[in-house]
Structure 1
Amino acid sequence: MYQIKEHLILGFHGCDEETCQKLINSPNEFHFNKNPYDWLGHGMYFWENDLQRAYQWALEKHQQGKIKQPAVLGAFIASGHCCDFLNLKYTEKLAAYYREMKDQSVKLPCNEDVKSDSYKDKLLRNLDCSVIEYMHEQIGIIQKIEKQNFGFSLTPSFDTVRCVFPEGAPAFPGAAIKLKSHIQICVRNPKSILAFFRPRLELPLHLAA
């Protein structure tokens, strides 16, 4: 019962201006990522309570030529049944699914570095994504069996997945705190997003587009 989070989360999604406008004007749309390297599996990603980090990400993608005009989309998120990897229950559960995959002799990918990342933060999380998606698949199988046996499912799906990530350079020499550390929330259930909004950007001048 302690895993159901009742409070709302403010999430910020770095994206192209066109995507931002589309979701503001058509809030029932859902931008679902299915990249094999997504850090928390498939879904729509938000920086939790970090507008500046979301804009910084969008600006970096713009500089790489991947988006035309950097923008940030805000969202009110009801995290609901959350697979929160800041909670021991879920990190242990994920480790068990990893062992299950290994026992089945499943060929597992590896997390990989990006050449441009001098801090070697394994930005391509192929392994993590694979294990998390396996977890969701197994939950789906259990639900199907329960429905066949009982006519309904006792096992809930996860609405959201959440984790903290240390990333980037040390905040100062010798520090364990990283400049790009953040909390991400991956929304799998579109109903968890109660509303999109256009946030007010109050950024340092060096981050202005």
Structure 2
Amino acid sequence: MSILRKLFGPYKDEVWQQLAAEIHADFVEGGFWKGSRVEATVKEWTITLDTYTVSTGKTHITYTRMRAPYVNPDGFRFRIYRKGFFSALGKRLGLMQDVEVGYPDFDDQFIIQGNDEYKLQLLFNNINIRQLIETQPEIGLEVKDDAGWLTERFPENVDLLSFQVVGVIRDVERLKHIYGLFGEVLNQLCRIGSAYEGDPNVALY
């Protein structure tokens, strides 16, 4: 084992290749301009894991993100993140209302926002979703406009389920939990009438 590997742990691509093998996904090698990524599927949905870096002038911040476009028939949006340092900033930036979903231990740990309180309660009534979220030491999970995701043009009624945290995640079990969370959330959104299982590349109405 190399000295660098002992100091910093396994390389990102090594872990992500292992993830791809375990969840039967595709590992896509990065190039000069783009980093490597993992592309997985759940039913008709494509889930993409990658990183991106933002320059703040004096430093660079790298984020790990996972995204999945899906058909959103009713415009339901939500955001959830752990209470902590960025909570006040998140509350100022958000136009959605803060909601408690009826599980005190869960409500105490997270800021939960959405544009439909009843749908939020239905979403987080799923115990698997709550448990998978609680496994994450840091989490930023939300539904937002696809915003030209990967420069693709999706129909107007397509939104994006998005996970994002600071840093490069090189823990395969944590990544598997995030992937499992995406599947649970997308399926629960279908159950409550806020998603369709169809291909988001095809307009349904």
TM-score by length of structure 2 reads 0.26
The structure richer in strand per residue is 2
Rg larger in 1 or in 2?
A: 1
